[in-house]
C-alpha cells in the first residue's frame, strides 16, 4: 500500500488566442536588465560538507527511501559538492549518473515564471493584465456564478482561485471534470484541459487565498499567446539557450538518460511507476503518467511538463541568485520576496510566504528549517527539492527518482542540516 501524505506537509515541506497587449512605446527606455549568461561554476570541494551529505544520501539509499539521487551544492559561485548515488533504473541495474535526465514536475514552474517576468520587463505583458486579455475563453466562475478577473500576478503567486485535483477526494469537482494536473493524460491538448479547468468553480475570489494550483499551466498559455510563440520556444529564448541548459526543455533529447521514476510505499521498497499510478496524497492522490513526456501531442505544462538535469538546474538557480537571469533589478527583487501580504497564506505553514518563483522563508525558526531568512525554495512531485539562500550564497539541487521522499520526506530536512551543519 502506498502511504498517504497530508496536504499540509507538502506545502510546508516544499516551501507546473486573445487580443495582443499593446506594445511598449517606442520612446520608452529599455528595461534595466542584466543579460542572462551561463554561470561559470568552479570546482571547489568542501570535505566537511561532503562527509555529512554523503552519509545522508547513503542512508536514504540503504534504507530504501530513494532508489537514486543527484545532489549539487554551489556556494558563492563554487561547486562545493556534487554526487550521483543509487540507481537510475533498478530493474536494469543502471547506476545513477550526474547527467541523468529527470522529469522536473513543479520545478518547471520557476523556469516559466522567469520567462513570464522577462515579458513583463519588455512591456509585452503586465502583472495586472487580466488573463482574458490573452485567453478570452478562460473565465472560471465562483460558486455564486460570478466570474471575477484573474490577473497574471495572481497566476504567479497561486492566488488565482484555481487548485489541483490532488487536493480533493476522488469525487471532487476537478476529478468530475477530468482535469489533468499536467503530470498525467499523455496526449492531452491544452484546449481540452483548459475547457475542463474553466468549468470548475474557483475555490476563492482571486487575490484572497494562496492555493498551490494549475495557475502556472494557465500562465504558460497566456505568455505563449502574448508573445505569439509556443511555450517551449519562449522558455528556450529567455532561459535555457542563454544559460546553456542543453538538457532542459519540454521534450527529451536523449531518452537513454531519462531516469525511471518510483513511488514510496507505506512499507517496503519503492515501486516502479507506470502510467495510471495514483500515489496517495492529501485527501486524494497524485496521478502520474511517466510516458507523458514522450508524447509529442501532450501540451507543454507550464507547471509540470519539463525535463532537465541537476547541473542545468543549478546553473539556472545560480543565475537567479546572482541576478544574471535577464530581469530588471526591481523585477528580480520582487521575484525573490514574499508577495502574499494581506492574503490568506495559511496553507504554506508558519514562517513562510511566496514570491514569484517559490516559497520564501520569512522566519526559519517558525518554519523549522536551518536555512536563512529570505531563502527561496520549492520542489517537484517526482521527488525533487531546490533552494536558493541569498544570505549564505548557496544554491542547492536535489533530484531523485522517488516520490515523494525527495520532495517532502526525511531526506529533505536531513540534507538541509547536512549542508548547514546545524
Q: List Cβ neighbours of 89 (8 Å cut-off, separation of 6 or more).
A: 259, 260
Residue 2 lies in a domain: no
Q: What integer pLDDT is reported at residue 38 of this predicted model?
A: 72
Residue 54: pLDDT band with limits 50, 70, 90: very high
Q: What integer pLDDT is reported at residue 284 of this predicted model?
A: 85
Mean pLDDT, residues 8-34: 38
CATH code: domain of residue 54: 3.40.710.10
**Residue 159 is part of which domain span?**
7-23+32-420
Residue 190 lies in a domain: yes
Q: What integer pLDDT is reported at residue 283 of this predicted model?
A: 79
Mean pLDDT, residues 252-273: 97
Residue 374 lies in a domain: yes
Residue 405 lies in a domain: yes
Which pTM does this prediction carry?
0.93
Residue 223 lies in a domain: yes
Residue 282: pLDDT band with limits 50, 70, 90: confident
In the chain, how many domains are there?
1
pLDDT > 90? residue 216 = yes
Residue 165 lies in a domain: yes
pLDDT > 80? residue 22 = no
- Over pLDDT 70: what percentage of the chain? 92
Residue 1 lies in a domain: no
Residue 35: pLDDT band with limits 50, 70, 90: confident
Of residues 10 and 345, more confidence is placed in 345
Write out the catalytic residue numbers: 106
Residue 134 lies in a domain: yes
Q: What integer pLDDT is reported at residue 32 of this predicted model?
A: 46
Amino acid at each position: 500500500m502506498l502511504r498517504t501524505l497530508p496536504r499540509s506537509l507538502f506545502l510546508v515541506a516544499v516551501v507546473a488566442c486573445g487580443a495582443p497587449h499593446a506594445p511598449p512605446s517606442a520612446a520608452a527606455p529599455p528595461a534595466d536588465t542584466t543579460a542572462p549568461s551561463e554561470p561559470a561554476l568552479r570546482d571547489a570541494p568542501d570535505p566537511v560538507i561532503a562527509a555529512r551529505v554523503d552519509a545522508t544520501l547513503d542512508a536514504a539509499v540503504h534504507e530504501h527511501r530513494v532508489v537514486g539521487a543527484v545532489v549539487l551544492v554551489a556556494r558563492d559561485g563554487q561547486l562545493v559538492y556534487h554526487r550521483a548515488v543509487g540507481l537510475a533504473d533498478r530493474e536494469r541495474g543502471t547506476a545513477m549518473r550526474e547527467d541523468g535526465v529527470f522529469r522536473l514536475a513543479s520545478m518547471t514552474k520557476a523556469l516559466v515564471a522567469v520567462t513570464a517576468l522577462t515579458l513583463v520587463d519588455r512591456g509585452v505583458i503586465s502583472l495586472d493584465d487580466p488573463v482574458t486579455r490573452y485567453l478570452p475563453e478562460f473565465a472560471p466562475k465562483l460558486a455564486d456564478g460570478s466570474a471575477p478577473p484573474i490577473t497574471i500576478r495572481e497566476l504567479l503567486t497561486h492566488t488565482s482561485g484555481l487548485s489541483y485535483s490532488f487536493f480533493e477526494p476522488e469525487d471532487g469537482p476537478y476529478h468530475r471534470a477530468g482535469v489533468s494536473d499536467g503530470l498525467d493524460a499523455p496526449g492531452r491538448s491544452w484546449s481540452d484541459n483548459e475547457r475542463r479547468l474553466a468549468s470548475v468553480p474557483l475555490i476563492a475570489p482571486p487575490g484572497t487565498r494562496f492555493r498551490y494550483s494549475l495557475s502556472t499551466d494557465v500562465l504558460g498559455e497566456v505568455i505563449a499567446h502574448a508573445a505569439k510563440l509556443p511555450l517551449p520556444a519562449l522558455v528556450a529564448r529567455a532561459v535555457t539557450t542563454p544559460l546553456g541548459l542543453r538538457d532542459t526543455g519540454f521534450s527529451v533529447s536523449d531518452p537513454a538518460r531519462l531516469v525511471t521514476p518510483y513511488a514510496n510505499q507505506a512499507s517496503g521498497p519503492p515501486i516502479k511507476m507506470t502510467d495510471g499510478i495514483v500515489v496517495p496524497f492529501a485527501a486524494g492522490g497524485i496521478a502520474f503518467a511517466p510516458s507523458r513526456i514522450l508524447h509529442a501531442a501532450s501540451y507543454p505544462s507550464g507547471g509540470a511538463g519539463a525535463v532537465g538535469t541537476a547541473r542545468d538546474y543549478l546553473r539556472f538557480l545560480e543565475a537567479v541568485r546572482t541576478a544574471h537571469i535577464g530581469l530588471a533589478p526591481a523585477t528580480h527583487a520582487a521575484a525573490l520576496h514574499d508577495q502574499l501580504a494581506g492574503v490568506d497564506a495559511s496553507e504554506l505553514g508558519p514562517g513562510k510566504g511566496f514570491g514569484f518563483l517559490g516559497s520564501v522563508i520569512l522566519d526559519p525558526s517558525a518554519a523549522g528549517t536551518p536555512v536563512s531568512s529570505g531563502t527561496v525554495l520549492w520542489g517537484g512531485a517526482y521527488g525533487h527539492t531546490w533552494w536558493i539562500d541569498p544570505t549564505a550564497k548557496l544554491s542547492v539541487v536535489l533530484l531523485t527518482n522517488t516520490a515523494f521522499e525527495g520532495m517532502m520526506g526525511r531526506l529533505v530536512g536531513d540534507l538541509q542540516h547536512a549542508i548547514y551543519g546545524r
